[in-house]
């Protein structure tokens, strides 16, 4: 991790206004903001660690825990809502055994919701690792999540 962190930080000057791009790049690299990274960023920018946390916690895009291999995002935008997004979310929660904002113990799946993924014509939809899955039904959900009977056998 140290090497990857150093490599990222080396492309910045350590200015305060660089904190958000640094946090974004580190999250892009690790999938979340590890504690060690927060400490290194604070040292690098010569600011208290609490300042780095204050910025990171202000923005909902940042997370402090690792996400699962499959990042599932259920769309709750208007078009998806009208076409059953609540039911889609309930089904995903049931199939994965986790609630929104959680990650399965085996680190396979993380579940979040999103306001709109820009594919309203395909609603209700979800996204798995940035790939849009359209017109979700229970059957489609079990297939795309790999939770069908054949997958469990
Ligand atoms: S509302 Fe779901 S994709 Fe736009």
63-96 pLDDT per residue, tens: 998 989 999 999 999 999 999 999 999 999 999 9
Average per-residue pLDDT for the chain = 93
Provide the CB-side half-sphere exposure for 51 (13 A, CA): 14
Class of domain 70-145: alpha beta
For the segment 139-149, the average pLDDT, to the nearest whole number, is: 89
Does the structure show a pLDDT above 70 at 152?
no
Q: Is the CB of 117 under 6 A from ligand 1?
A: yes
Residue 153, pLDDT score: 46
The domain spans of the chain are 2-58, 70-145
Q: How far is the CA of 87 from the centre of ligand 1 (A)?
A: 15
Work out whether the CA dihedral 134, 135, 136, 139 comes out positive or negative.
negative
Residue 31, pLDDT score: 86
Q: Is the CB of 132 under 6 A from ligand 1?
A: no
- Residues 6+ positions from 111 with CB-CB distance below 8 Å: 72, 73, 74, 92, 93, 96, 98, 99, 100, 101, 102, 103
Residue with tokens 């920018």: 45
């Amino acid at each position: 991790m140290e090497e990857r962190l150093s490599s990222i930080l080396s492309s910045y000057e350590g200015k305060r206004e660089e904190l958000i791009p640094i946090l974004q790049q580190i999250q892009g690299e690790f999938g979340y903001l590890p504690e060690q990274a927060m400490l290194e960023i604070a040292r690098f920018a010569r600011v208290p660690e609490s300042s780095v946390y204050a910025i990171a916690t202000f923005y909902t895009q940042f997370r402090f825990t690792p996400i699962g291999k499959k990042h599932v995002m259920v769309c709750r935008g208007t078009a998806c809502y009208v076409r059953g997004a609540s039911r889609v979310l309930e089904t995903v929660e049931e199939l994965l055994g986790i609630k929104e904002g959680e990650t399965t113990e085996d680190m396979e799946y993380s579940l979040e919701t999103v306001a709109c993924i820009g594919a309203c014509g395909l609603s209700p939809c979800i996204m798995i690792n940035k790939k849009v899955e359209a017109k979700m039904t229970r059957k489609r959900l079990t297939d795309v999540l790999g939770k069908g009977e054949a997958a469990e056998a």
